[in-house]
A and B are shown apart, each in its own frame.
Chain A
Amino acid sequence: MKLKFRMYSVVGMVGLSLGEQHFIQGGIAQDLRCDGRKRLTYRPIHVETGVIPQANGSARIRIGATEVIASVKAELGKPSLSQPDKGKVFIYIDCSSTAEPAFEGRGGEELSAELSTALHCCLLGAKSGAGAGIDRTSLVVEGKICWDLYIDGLVVSSDGNLLDALGAAIKAALSNTGIPSVKVTAGAASDEQPEVDISDEEFLQFDTSGVPVIITLTKVGREYIVDATPEEESQMSSAISISVNKKGHICGITKRGGAGLDPSVILDMVSVAQYVSGKLMNKLDSEIASAEAEDES
């Protein structure tokens, strides 16, 4: 019995006829997708950084027709009681109704929550902070003050593979982030709020060498594809999003989509993701570097 699940119900998309469905499935089985790509090839990726001047860091990424914008804002705050030596990072995703009419009002809420959770899991790592993509201990200014990073992602245009695009956009935005340096005036009593002097001039660049990329492998029939379009996503049985960092270590795995998967299949997908991540990481890094260079010039 064939189980077909949709990752999210995209109401605006016209349904596929049986012939089109077979065409997509057959093509993927023969390593030739509808737009001519191989199974493990990404669509062209364009990166622009510094698109939002008021934010500490921002980036806009286009993968094919999927377009997302990520912005990073840093505000001073107090570290939480349970983890006094770490700053806080909040990730919010908003699916704008310009992407899909179904996202208007509360329609996009479920998808936004799912994407936010997956990004949290992939980028922020465990509660103790070990193995996280973003090093939260670097956010602490001094004892009672830390930086709170608010990472906001906006889906402007949705054409499949939103999670990968958001992960890449957040990576680009973080490498564009400049955190102003802070001088804390000494001598304040331990209970009072210490005085801070936020400089407008000096900025510290955020260290993003540890930030992972997220790769979503969609299983269609017996094969896995990377960077699925909405038509391909409608034919999937399940998908796994794996985040891999520069050293090739897995930083997080989320399974998305309904059908069950054999454990050996999951391990196979993990190794495929590690293989693909090398190329994607290099491509992203070079694109981000050239975008930053353009930004400065």
Chain B
Amino acid sequence: MASKAGMTPATYSPSPTTGKNKPPLFKEDSTRPDGRDFHQCRPAFLRTGAVNAASGSAYAEFGNTKVIVSVFGPRESKKAMMYSDTGRLNCNVSYTTFATPVRGEGSDHKEYSSMLHKALEGAIILESFPKTTVDVFALVLQSSGSDLPVVISCASLALADAGILMYDLVASVSVSCLGKNLVIDPISEEENSQDGSLMITCMPSRHEITQLTVTGECSTSKIKEGMQLCLDACAKLANVMRSCLKESSSDAHGLDNESS
């Protein structure tokens, strides 16, 4: 059994919804609600081969955010689509109804599908599968902050598991501005009260950013600092992803050796 990349919290207990009085912003002594440092990411648990029927799949748990991604393809494109000498990428991100504390709130995030598409299309070598389509389906099982970055990282792991040719693994991290502080990998309480956010998707080995989204008013120096934080975190995350892939492929190799 492959060892986990980091410790995951033991149990998940839903936070009781308070009625009128919201607790004040939690920054009493500059610690975050889950005890992390400002510049510390959540421990990541990554596993490929979660779905048997898919060409490739991956499951990721970053703290309480749990995502599963399946990749199907390359499959024949629908007849209605035009001939194309490069491959096509079709992405879909959906939330389960129980993913958010309030049932059904996940349908607010319809734009995540196109953002996932933009993040991945720069990394996949589309010319390697002409006339066919690769489908990436992401399902957010539990949403607890920083959903889209986790979906993107998990999707690139699933694509690697499916054997789709890529320029590099895609890692994604987001940073939240809370007052004057930049906190990395925010959880949903921090996201709801943030003053600004910066999400970066990059290919660490090529040192290229495939997607960048900044919301809220930020000065250029904050953007620079945020970008630097994210790029460092992405590089570390990509190493974790790579070691996960190595373990799963050496597992498969080990099993083959045993059976033969």
> What is A's interface to B at a CB cutoff of 8 Å?
3, 5, 82, 110, 113-114, 116-117, 121-122, 124-128, 130-132, 238, 240, 245, 249-263, 266-267, 270-271, 274
Contact = CB atoms under 8 A, between A and B. Distances in A.
Contacts, number: 119
30 contacts: A113-B111, A113-B114, A114-B111, A114-B114, A117-B111, A117-B115, A121-B215, A124-B215, A125-B215, A125-B216, A127-B191, A128-B194, A249-B217, A249-B218, A250-B217, A250-B223, A251-B217, A253-B213, A253-B223, A254-B212, A254-B213, A257-B118, A258-B121, A260-B122, A260-B203, A262-B209, A263-B227, A263-B231, A266-B209, A274-B220
B221 to A, nearest CB: 10
Contacts of A254: 212-214
Nearest to B224: A267
Interface string B121-164: 11100000000000000000000000000000000000000000
Contact of B214 (A3, A117, A127, A252): A252
B212 A240 contact: yes
Contacts of B122: 3, 5, 238, 258-260
A271 B213 contact: no
Given A126-B194, A250-B217, A262 B208 contact: yes
Contacts of A261: 208-210, 212
Most interface-central of B111, B122, B191, B197 (chain A CB within 10 A): B122
B22 to A, nearest CB: 9
Interface string B202-242: 11001111111111111110011001000100000000000
Contact of B211 (A125, A132, A255, A271): A255
Given A250-B223, A258-B121, A260-B203, A126 B213 contact: no
Most interface-central of A250, A266, A267, A270 (chain B CB within 10 A): A250
Given A127-B194, A131-B196, A250 B219 contact: yes
B208 A260 contact: yes
Question: Considering the complex of A and B, which 4 residue pairs feature the smallest CB-CB distances, nearest first?
Answer: A131-B217, A260-B208, A126-B216, A253-B214
A255 B212 contact: yes
A270 B219 CA distance: 11
Contacts of A245: 217
Nearest to A257: B118
B205 to A, nearest CB: 11
Given A250-B223, A266-B212, A258 B217 contact: no
Nearest to A82: B192
A255 B207 contact: no
Contacts of A252: 213-216
A157 to B, nearest CB: 24
A270 B209 contact: no
Most interface-central of A5, A117, A252, A255 (chain B CB within 10 A): A255
B193 A128 contact: yes
A267 B227 contact: yes
B217 A130 contact: yes
Contacts of B203: 260
Given A259-B122, A262-B208, A266-B227, A249 B193 contact: no
Nearest to B84: A9
Nearest to A247: B217
A67 B231 CA distance: 39
Given A130-B217, A251-B217, A270-B223, 9 more contacts: A113-B110, A121-B213, A127-B192, A130-B216, A250-B214, A250-B218, A255-B213, A261-B208, A266-B212
Contacts of B196: 125-126, 130-131
A18 B42 CA distance: 49
Nearest to B178: A128
Nearest to B222: A250
Most interface-central of A82, A121, A126, A257 (chain B CB within 10 A): A126
A258 B210 contact: yes
A80 to B, nearest CB: 11
A119 B87 CA distance: 29
B195 interface: yes
Given A82-B192, A113-B114, A132 B121 contact: no
A258 B121 CA distance: 6
A238 B97 CA distance: 35
Nearest to B198: A253
Contact of A130 (B195, B214, B231): B195
A122 B216 CA distance: 8
A260 B217 contact: no
A258 B219 CA distance: 26
B210 A117 contact: no
A131 B195 contact: yes
Contacts of A113: 110-111, 114
B194 A256 contact: no
Contact of A250 (B118, B194, B202, B220): B220
Contacts of B207: 262-263
Contacts of B217: 125, 130-132, 245, 249-251
A13 to B, nearest CB: 14
